[in-house]
Amino acid sequence: MSHNTTAPSLDLIFAALADPTRRAILEMLLEDDMAVTDVAEPFEMSLAAISKHLTILMRAGLIAQEKRGRVKWCKLQPDAMRASSIWMQGFGQFEALDLEGLERFLEHELSGSAELDP
Amino acid sequence: MSHNTTAPSLDLIFAALADPTRRAILEMLLEDDMAVTDVAEPFEMSLAAISKHLTILMRAGLIAQEKRGRVKWCKLQPDAMRASSIWMQGFGQFEALDLEGLERFLEHELSGSAELDP
DNA sequence: GCTATATTCAACCAAATGGTTGACCAAAGC
DNA sequence: GCTTTGGTCAACCATTTGGTTGAATATAGC
């Protein structure tokens, strides 16, 4: 409800989402919080590369990182997606500003269904 | 409901949306179709630069360009936004999307204000 | 205290991005 | 047929991006 301390720009968010590796990471985090090493495991690139990707995701506000012991846990930050999602909704409505679509959208939203389709 | 002939990837769409100039162009096209020169007018960069931006938007499927006479008309292609919007919804649902933000958005949209903010 | 584990940092590299300019092509206007 | 108008193309440039490697830091385990 309240604004974040420093709401990251659409620039940062969309740029972060433009990379397939980073989107895959986000999808992984949808299931559970993960340590950096575990995030890196399925990818064929260096740990350092993944670390960079995580930094980009964090600066976009899409994830948060919390260090517990020597392990840094990565956690999805769904709020960050909201601004860009709303921005895009504006175009979905485009077709004659159909409130029906909006209603459907709201119903869908309120019903709390959450299908992910990779 | 049917797939597009060549659905552009999320990569292309998100990358296209990551640039403020391109987002501003899309918002302009939300109001009406425009010729390339007219699209370029409010910006402080060369026509060639805008032309490049438009190419990127087109390859992402976000706009279509139709040449009538010597004028090339740019038209918003809202369907292209759907795939990425749906992808994001998957994350947004998580916390049951704030209706306030949506309302604010609608007010903004319905009031017909169109601040371009470079 | 040593060693292994978790993660980042720094320097580097190739390729992509966002912009410029000037030449070019195509369609109107007179 | 010139000239203007609308738009792209090509070559160039600086900066950013996405990756590498090797060294550095911090915590955990023994």
B61's torsion region: left (phi>0), alpha (psi -120 to 50) or beta?
left
Q: Which fold has domain A10-79?
A: Arc Repressor Mutant, subunit A (1.10.10)
Q: Quick one: pLDDT at residue A78?
A: 86
pLDDT band with cut points at 50, 70 and 90 for residue A23: very high
Closest residue to A23, CB basis, from B10, B82, B109? B10
- Give mean pLDDT, residues A52-70: 96
Place of tokens 């009406």: B32
The architecture in CATH of the region B10-110 reads: Orthogonal Bundle (1.10)
**Residue A64 backbone phi and psi in degrees, to 5:** -125, 150
* Contact, A69 CB vs strand D, < 7 Å: yes
A23 versus B118: the higher-pLDDT residue is A23
Give CA–CA dist B89/A106, Å, rounded.
Answer: 12
Residue B28 pLDDT exceeds 60: yes
Place of tokens 């306030």: B100
Look over chain B and give the mean of its residue pLDDT values, rounded to a whole number.
82
**CA A77, chain centre distance (Å):** 6
Residues of chain A with CATH 1.10.10.10: 10-79
Kindly report the nearest CA distance between residue A49 and chain B, in angstroms: 19
DSSP of B27-65 = HHHHH--EEHHHHHTTSSS-HHHHHHHHHHHHHTTSEEE
**Residue B76 backbone phi and psi in degrees, to 5:** -60, 145
DSSP of A29-62 = HHH--EEHHHHHTTSSS-HHHHHHHHHHHHHTTS
Window from A46-50, B21-25, B62-66, B113-117 with minimum mean pLDDT: B113-117
Residue B16 pLDDT exceeds 90: yes
Strand, coil or helix: what is B22? helix
Q: From chain B, pick out residues whose CB is under 8 angstroms from the CB of A101.
A: none
Identify, with chain letter, the residue nearest to nucleotide D20 (CA–C1'): A46
Look over chain A and give the mean of its residue pLDDT values, rounded to a whole number.
81
pLDDT tens digit string along B51-104?
A: 999 999 999 999 999 999 999 999 999 888 888 888 888 886 533 445 555 566
CB atoms closer than 10 angstroms to residue A91: 21
**Cα dist. B50→A99, B4, B59, B67 in Å?**
33, 26, 14, 16
Q: From chain B, pick out residues whose CB is under 8 angstroms from the CB of A93.
A: 109
**CA A62, chain centre distance (Å):** 5
Q: Quick one: pLDDT at residue B106?
A: 56
